[in-house]
Amino acid sequence: MKYAKILSVGHYVPENVVTNDDLTKFIDTSDEWIRERTGIRERRWFDPDKDTVANMATRATRMALERAGMEAKEIDFIVFATITPDYFFPGSGVLLQRELGLQGIGALDIRNACSGFIYALSVADNFIKAGMYKTILVVGAEIQSSALDKTTAGRSTNVIFADGAGAAIVQATDNPEHRILSTHLHADGDYAEELYVRDPGSSRKVRLSKELIEGDTFKVHMNGNFVFKHAVVRFEEVIKEALDANNLTVEDIDLLIPHQANLRISEFLQKRLGLPDDKVFNNIMHLGNTTAASIPIAMSEAWEQGKIKPGKLVCLAAFGSGFTWASALIRW
């Protein structure tokens, strides 16, 4: 078995819908501003009595398993992308493993923010190609809403980020016609502090203190405009890298699924690449930006809508904290 293919996808989002008008009750913003600058109409924020990162991932996985008509016990490895694990340690991968009843198999956690799912997919693709595993569960799941500054001071992040989970079952195959063609991973640590959560940082003399908790370093900090400008350049670059590596052109893409950072970023990219509306998938309008979960949720929704079918060329691309950026080309 020389290749890896995506066998099935699934997703789960919390039931709790937060509209732009809901946000105006506690921050100085407007539905009009949020729609115009981000494209978002509503997002899902978790219910602390019901949702955890691991159990949302479990629900997404169960959907993917059901669609594939297979049982969890066929999974022989887990790669879990999240920057919001349920515990400081261990990562949520082992919690998902436990919930699926798969005690004993390996579980790897990946912390590459918005690019996390593509990094995770790349690990799965290459573990399978190396012959190490046959069926790998790759998930992206996040609870961002509990880390947001829910005051007007945090309005450039609290209107964007949201919660959810997506899963993909990646499996070994001999068939070169339906497989992950390639993955491309990049990072530039010069920009680590342009989008980050500083605390609880282990390099502090005292990791948790009253002063720290009263400050704002536990919240998401983003230099929005700066991130935006880098994102549009890197998205295009990494998509072209993937196409070049496979001797393909933009015209060959059937569906581009960009990480759902901001609708304006997707639209800018679409224009730069000259892609028609039906070849770019966006769901940020109703789900916001769910970091590592955004691409697998979008894949699952696109599959539900019949936009992903055997033979289609699907391009995934992401950019986010790190900075990290990545792409994947999949012949479904």
Residues recognised as catalytic: 114, 259, 289
106 contributes a contact to ligand UT7 by CB under 6 A: no
Residue of 169, 320, 322, 327 interacting with ligand UT7 (CB under 6 A)? 320
We find the least distance from the C-beta atom of residue 318 to ligand UT7, in angstroms, to be: 8
CB-CB contact of 253 with 279 (8 Å): yes
38 contributes a contact to ligand UT7 by CB under 6 A: yes
135 contributes a contact to ligand UT7 by CB under 6 A: no
In DSSP terms, 313 is beta-bridged to 331
**Segment interacting with ligand UT7 (CB under 6 A) among 141-149, 155-163, 177-185, 213-221:** 155-163
115 contributes a contact to ligand UT7 by CB under 6 A: no
For residue 20, CA distances in Å to 17, 31, 76, 163, 286 come to 10, 5, 42, 15, 10
For residue 312, CA distances in Å to 115, 137, 166, 261, 299 come to 22, 22, 20, 24, 13
We find the least distance from the C-beta atom of residue 37 to ligand UT7, in angstroms, to be: 4
Q: Which of these, 55, 110, 33, lies nearest to 78 by C-alpha position?
A: 110
Residue of 20, 55, 262, 327 interacting with ligand UT7 (CB under 6 A)? 262
Query: Which amino acid, 259?
Result: H
CB-CB contact of 239 with 255 (8 Å): no
103 contributes a contact to ligand UT7 by CB under 6 A: no
**Segment interacting with ligand UT7 (CB under 6 A) among 30-38, 125-133, 134-142, 250-258:** 30-38
We find the least distance from the C-beta atom of residue 29 to ligand UT7, in angstroms, to be: 3
For residue 113, CA distances in Å to 70, 117, 197, 322 come to 29, 8, 11, 8
The residue ranges that bind ligand UT7 (CB under 6 A) are 29, 33-34, 37-38, 114, 155-156, 159-160, 224-225, 227-228, 231, 261-262, 265, 289, 320
